[in-house]
Amino acid sequence: MTMASAPGKVILFGEHAVVSGTPAIGGAIDLRARVTVQDMHGCLLIESGDLTLQGFTFDLISGQVISAGAAIATRYISAVLKELEACNLRITVQSDLLPASGLGSSAAIVVATAAALNAHLDLCLSLKEIASLSHKIEKSVQQGLGSPMDTALATFGGYLQVSGVVEALDLPPLDLAVGCTRRPHDTRSEVLKVQTLRKRYPELVEPIFQAIGAISKRAVPLIREQRLEEVGELMNINHGLLEGLGVGTRDLGELVYAARGSGGAMGAKITGAGGGGCMIALPGLNSEAALIASLRQAGGAAFSVRTGCEGVRLEEGP
């Protein structure tokens, strides 16, 4: 039996504008997907649990599906098995990450599966090869869409800046609150929506992209120097620009305003594609519990995360 785990991620700054080449910054978080591989003839069994503690099971032999999350996980795992020509295995997934919510759940599952198979089958793939194979698999399952951010963060951990090339950033950890609308989002349709807006109003949308890229650049030294009030201000500006691009929703807005109001956050913004999914907030001094409570009161699922966490790793079996 071989077990590997890989982290999810949040995008701190720069989503959507990154599609047109300006920089975005993401951090691996301390919520993980764990994948176990065991030899078993003619079997693929996937089990998972998520943050709402609603576990699910999907059995390919009985054909029984008890959750959309299981179907998503199965699609990605099957693609990894096919790519690595692996069969006769039992695969078990335990994930802390809500699927389709912008927390990098599918990338964490793909990377953890690839790493577990790599060790179990002695494939001798390097981390770089796992990252690039996982990006290729995620992109093919998502029909051509997917920046390398999620799979690279799931593999290497820490922080990354993406702007055409992927660069590691050496930054200290940040403690954030995540507020989740519980509405799954569709990254593809949000990206298409923004790109359509850009075609219709290039003279308006291009400057928004440039401003978002400038925020990402300014944020890096501020995070490094722990100037959190200014980091919070940049989060607020970035959120306003994402609203301008049309990816805000009422639910996300309510969570953002609850975080900044009764939650005492220094800053709050959508994280990821928007249109549902999650927002992140930077707690004010001593206000993390109040922040989580405010997000829950505003109707979100809320939890704390730390950014800059470790990438994929092999785990001791149960």
Q: Which of 5, 6, 16, 282 binds ligand PMV (CB under 6 A)?
A: 16
Q: Kindly state whether residue 273 participates in binding ligand PMV, applying the rule CB under 6 A.
A: yes
Please give the structure tokens belonging to residue 2: 């071989």
Instruction: Tell me, rounded to whole angstroms, the distance of Cα 79 from its chain centroid.
Output: 19
Q: Kindly state whether residue 272 participates in binding ligand PMV, applying the rule CB under 6 A.
A: yes
* Residue (101 or 287) nearer to ligand PMV, CB: 101
* Residue (231 or 273) nearer to ligand PMV, CB: 273
Residue 185 neighbours by CB under 8 Å, 6+ apart: 100, 101, 102, 272, 273, 274, 275, 276, 277
* Residue (117 or 180) nearer to ligand PMV, CB: 180
What would the x/- binding string for ligand PMV be over residues 190 to 229, using CB under 6 A? -x--------------------------------------
Selected range binding ligand PMV among 108-116, 125-133, 142-150, 225-233, rule: CB under 6 A: 142-150
Considering only residues 176 through 195, tell me which ones interact with ligand PMV, judged by CB under 6 A.
187, 191
Catalytic residues: 150
- Measured distance CA(28)–CA(174) in Å, rounded: 11
Q: Kindly state whether residue 102 participates in binding ligand PMV, applying the rule CB under 6 A.
A: yes
Q: How far is the CB of 194 from ligand PMV (least distance, A)?
A: 7
Selected range binding ligand PMV among 13-21, 166-174, 251-259, 281-289, rule: CB under 6 A: 13-21
# binding residues, ligand PMV (CB under 6 A): 13
Selected range binding ligand PMV among 9-17, 58-66, 79-87, 221-229, rule: CB under 6 A: 9-17
Q: Kindly state whether residue 18 participates in binding ligand PMV, applying the rule CB under 6 A.
A: yes
Radius of gyration of the chain (CA): 19
* Residue (9 or 120) nearer to ligand PMV, CB: 9
- Measured distance CA(144)–CA(64) in Å, rounded: 29
**By beta-carbon distance, which residue lies closest to ligand PMV?**
272
Interaction site with ligand PMV (CB under 6 A):
11, 15-16, 18-19, 102, 146-147, 150, 187, 191, 272-273
